[in-house]
Chains A and B, each alone.
Chain A
Amino acid sequence: GENVEQHPSTLSVQEGDSAVIKCTYSDSASNYFPWYKQELGKGPQLIIDIRSNVGEKKDQRIAVTLNKTAKHFSLHITETQPEDSAVYFCAAPNNAGNMLTFGGGTRLMVKP
């Protein structure tokens, strides 16, 4: 099955700095990579995803990059704000595409 590793487990940045979270996956057939943000007391919410036919995708201050050869993908948040503080999860699908394997999560703290 798929194995997803995520680093770092905690990340503290100053407001306005950038934050980068990295994930690796094991199944080279995986073709869809979502990122979720979980705020305190809430369930995870999809914030951005990327399919394997592109190397990068941007949505305002958030971007995701994918390196299929190395089997890793990263989340980049620029100009961080206190409201970006949350737990972030990466995920990758199984072969059938109907189940996701999640990384262990990254707790991001943005200090004002």
Chain B
Amino acid sequence: DVKVTQSSRYLVKRTGEKVFLECVQDMDHENMFWYRQDPGLGLRLIYFSYDVKMKEKGDIPEGYSVSREKKERFSLILESASTNQTSMYLCASTLQGKGSQHFGDGTRLSIL
């Protein structure tokens, strides 16, 4: 079974801090994704990576950046955290050309 692991289940940070969310997958998937989940808004794509060191902006990239130095690891970075970035963050991965995505269990991030 595919395993997508997010490093933290809960995280509390302060406004202005630089925040790193880490995601690792163990199935050699090319594509990895970061979403944020807010009530009534579903899952919104922040960034997507289709290969090492490659990235594409999703629907809501503002205030975020990403890093993919190794195939199995995809990091989401909040350069200067703000309270409106309090949310559930979900990482997913998939094989190139395959539609179905495999998700981690999420990181609930609170910015105070």
Chain A interface residues (CB < 8 Å from chain B): 1, 6, 9, 32, 34, 36, 41-46, 49, 89, 93, 97-105
Contact = CB atoms under 8 A, between A and B. Distances in A.
Contacts of A44: 43, 90, 103
Contact size range, B: 20 to 34
B24 to A, nearest CB: 14
Interface stretch (B11-19, B60-68, B72-80, B94-102): B94-102
A99 B42 contact: no
Contacts of B43: 44, 89, 102
B36 to A, nearest CB: 11
A44 to B, nearest CB: 5
Given A98-B31, A98-B50, A104 B40 contact: yes
Given A43-B4, A97-B99, A105-B40, 11 more contacts: A1-B59, A41-B105, A44-B103, A49-B99, A89-B43, A98-B94, A99-B33, A99-B58, A100-B99, A102-B43, A102-B44
A111 to B, nearest CB: 21
Contacts of A104: 40-42
B41 A99 contact: no
B42 A46 contact: no
Contacts of B90: 43-44
A6 B42 CA distance: 10
A105 B42 contact: yes
A92 to B, nearest CB: 9
A23 to B, nearest CB: 11
Interface string B32-59: 0101000011111100101000000011
A54 to B, nearest CB: 15
A89 B42 contact: yes
Interface in B79-112: 90, 92, 94, 96-97, 99-106
Given A34-B99, A34-B100, A98-B31, A42 B105 contact: yes
Contacts of A43: 4, 90, 92, 103-106
Contacts of A49: 99-100
